[in-house]
Structure 1
Amino acid sequence: MIYFSDQELDALLLEDAPRGDLTSRTLNLTRQPARMRFSRKSPGRVAGIDVAMAMLTKLGLSPVARTGDGDDVDAMTPLIEVQGPANLLHIGWKSVQVVLEWSCGVAQYTADMVAAVQRHNPQAVVACTRKSIPGTRKLATAAVLAGGGHIHRAGLSESVLVFSNHRNLLGDDVNGMVAQLKRQAPENKIAVEADDLDDLKALLPANPDIIQLDKFSVDEVCQAQHLLRQARSTSALSVAGGINRDNVADYAKTGINLFITSAPYYAAPQDIKVIIQPN
């Protein structure tokens, strides 16, 4: 579980109902008891339950979770059920629905990618970048984890990854650069991105822990593996840039273990059916 603060939960609720629900108030639904149920319309992976439960609880309600983050469910399986005053249910309805729909979409896409790579390599890992939709990174992290994925780096403070934009400022001493990083960050793995095969050849003598192949074709990945073996390098290879649900299986066939992607963040939401009825 990833903890969401009261401030974060309030922001999710206040975005949709900064001054309550005018329609429910005008219809005098304040005191009418009702019940609300959230269900996933199609079968698949579930995410966003923990956050949704916390949002409804913030409204003074007592929701009941019928499933959990990371579960796979059948179509129309109830996810959350809650009873209370009708106006409070309406205030929570759309905000919670959107969190569930978007989170389930990200989790489903991630789960599909994980399944695709693990059919060819059971040890393979799909890891998502920090390139999430602005303002959604924490929700995205929870959804990726529910989908069976990993987080590549949640932010700049998380790990050491050298891009060509770093190297442009440092000159050509790749060996010295990697040695410095290993001295200064001994508890971190050192990853360096390669933009092409020539770049890879220049990096191999420095032997970083990970060489991230950016926008390499499947054929170029195979060539990169050959160069790695020739150099007897202990560096691991990862692939990044354009990796998505449609092509990840082709890359998995090469034997690569680590797939870096942003694609799940932009997945289509999954439909969540919400029914409010008299109690």
Structure 2
Amino acid sequence: MVWFSNEEIAQWINEDAPLVDLTSHLLGIEAQYCELTVTTRLPTCLTLTEEAARLFEQLGADTVFCELSGRQVDAGTEILKVTGRGDALHRGWKVAMNLLETGCGVATATADMVAAVQQAGEIPLLVTRKHAPGMKKQLLKAVLSGGAYPHRLGLSETVLIFDNHLNVIGGREALPAAIRGMKAAACEKKITVECDHLPQAIQAAEAGADAIQFDKVPVGDLTLWCKSLKASFPTLSVLIAGGIRRDNVEAYAASGVDGIVLSSLYHAKPADLGVSIQRLD
């Protein structure tokens, strides 16, 4: 579960309407009792529905029903219904829709990509931290709802050595001593090294790396390299990142890698949802 505090949800509301919903006020609909319904227009993988319901509840509305995150629903499915004062529903309307459309778009694209990967085997789809600042929790829940996993939740969580690190410590020749020291200091952590080609990967594996992350390698080369590395280093994990798309992800999943790393899902097309607010007499 990804948990959002009441304070976080209140910030979303206050960002859009910090003082008053002027239109609702001038129309005099503040005290009118209404019903708001959110409906899918296309097949959708749901996420952040619970947070959308809580958003309206903070505004004083009541949740009639809320479909759960992670559900795959057909077009025309009602996924959220709330009742309350007209000003409360109008104040939360766009905030909730922006939250749902963005999140469900990511979740739906993720679920589609996961399904493609599973055609080749049980290979995890790992989504990076390359997202807009301030969106980590919302996007994390979206990719989890779609069936993917986080690659790195942050720099404090995992050890991944890039070329820019190597440039500072003296190049790849410094890897053996560096990895020995890192494993001694962080004995519960695995060490991953980014590599561009097979000789770099062999050198990193011999230096004690637990995993190799290749970047932007053609699938044909990757297939041969995975076979070679697995034969020489049976416990080595191999990841592929960069250039992974919906039209090639199945081929990469069949290459022999242990995981597929990508960030493009964060730029998925928003979900197509409709909202209706009706007066209840």
Same fold (TM over 0.5): yes
What range is the shorter-chain TM-score in?
over 0.9
- Return the alpha-carbon distance in structure 1 between the equivalents of residues 152 and 2 of structure 2: 16
Deviation for aligned residue 1:99: 0.4
Which string of whole-angstrom CA distances, capped at 9 and with x for unpartnered residues, describes residues 126-150 of structure 1? 0111101222111000001000010
Number of the residue aligned with 2:266: 265
Structure 2 unaligned regions, length at least 5: none
d(CA) in 1 for partners of 2:29 and 2:56?
Answer: 18
SS of 2:78's partner is strand
1:84 aligns to what?
Answer: 84
Q: 1:232 to 1:255 in 2, by over 3 A?
A: closer
Aligned to 1:17: 17
Q: Is the 8 A contact 2:127 2:151 kept in 1?
A: yes
Partner of 2:72: 72
Name the residue aligned to 1:148: 147
Task: Give distance in 2, aligned partners of 1:230 and 1:52.
Answer: 50
User: For 1:64, what is the secondary structure of its paired residue?
Assistant: strand
CA distance in 2, matches of 1:117, 1:180: 36
Query: Residue 216 of structure 2 aligns to which amino acid in structure 1?
Result: K
Structure 2 contact 219–255 (Cα < 8 Å) conserved: yes
Residue 35 of structure 2: aligned partner: 35
- Is 1:231 equivalent to 2:237 in the alignment? no
How many Å separate the matches in 1 of 2:254 and 2:211? Answer: 19
Structure 1: where are the runs of 5+ without partners?
Answer: none
1:170-229 Cα shifts (integer Å, max 9, x gaps): 121222222222111111121111122332232121231111111111022123213314
Q: How many residues get paired?
A: 278
Secondary structure of the corresponding residue to residue 260 of structure 2: strand
Separation in 2 of the partners of 1:3 and 1:191?
A: 29
Contact (CA 8 Å) 2:205, 2:211: kept in 1 or not? no
Structure 1 counterpart of 2:203, one-letter code: A
- Verify the 8 A CA contact 1:204 1:231 in the aligned structure 2: no
In the alignment, the residues of structure 1 paired with residue 137 and residue 259 of structure 2 have an alpha-carbon distance, to the nearest angstrom, of: 22
Offset of 1:230 from its aligned partner?
4.7
Q: CA offset at residue 4 of structure 1?
A: 1.0
Structure 1 residue ranges (4+ consecutive) displaced by more than 3 angstroms after TM superposition:
none
CA distance in 2 between partners of 1:105 and 1:270 (Å): 4
Deviation at 1:3, TM superposition (A): 1.2
User: Hey, what's the Cα distance between the residues in 2 that align with 1:24 and 1:162?
Assistant: 54
Question: Is residue 30–residue 86 contact of structure 1 (8 Å, CA) maintained in 2?
Answer: yes
Matches of 2:145 and 2:18 in 1, distance apart?
30
**2:169 alignment partner, SS class:** coil
User: Following the alignment from structure 1 to structure 2, what is the Cα–Cα distance between the partners of residues 251 and 216?
Assistant: 10
Q: Secondary structure at 1:168's aligned position in 2?
A: helix
The answer for the alignment partner of 2:103 in structure 1 is: 103
In the superposition, the TM-score normalised over structure 1's length comes to: 0.95
What is the CA distance between 1:277 and its match in structure 2?
Answer: 0.4
Superposed displacement of residue 105, structure 1: 0.6
Identity across the alignment (%)? 38
CA contact (8 A) 1:110 1:144 kept: yes
How many Å apart are 1:48 and its aligned residue? Answer: 1.2
Q: Aligned partners of 2:149, 2:28: CA distance in 1, in Å?
A: 47
- CA distance in 2 between counterparts of 1:160 and 1:65 reads 43
- CA shift for structure 1 position 254: 1.2
Q: 1:34 touches 1:85 (CA, 8 Å); kept in 2? A: yes
What is the TM-score when the length of structure 2 is the normalising length? 0.95
SS at match of 1:148: coil
Contact 2:44 2:271 (C-alpha < 8 Å) held by counterparts: no
Partners of 1:8 and 1:265 lie apart in 2 by 21
Cα RMSD after superposing both structures: 1.4
**Which secondary structure does the structure 1 equivalent of 2:29 belong to?**
coil
Instruction: Judge which range, 196-205 or 8-17, deviates more.
Output: 196-205
Which residue of the partner structure matches residue 246 of structure 1? Answer: 247
Q: State the Cα distance separating 1:6 from its structure 2 match.
A: 2.4
* 1:43-192 alignment, distance < 5 Å: 43-121=43-121, 123-171=122-170, 172-192=173-193
2:213–2:240 contact (8 Å) kept in structure 1: yes
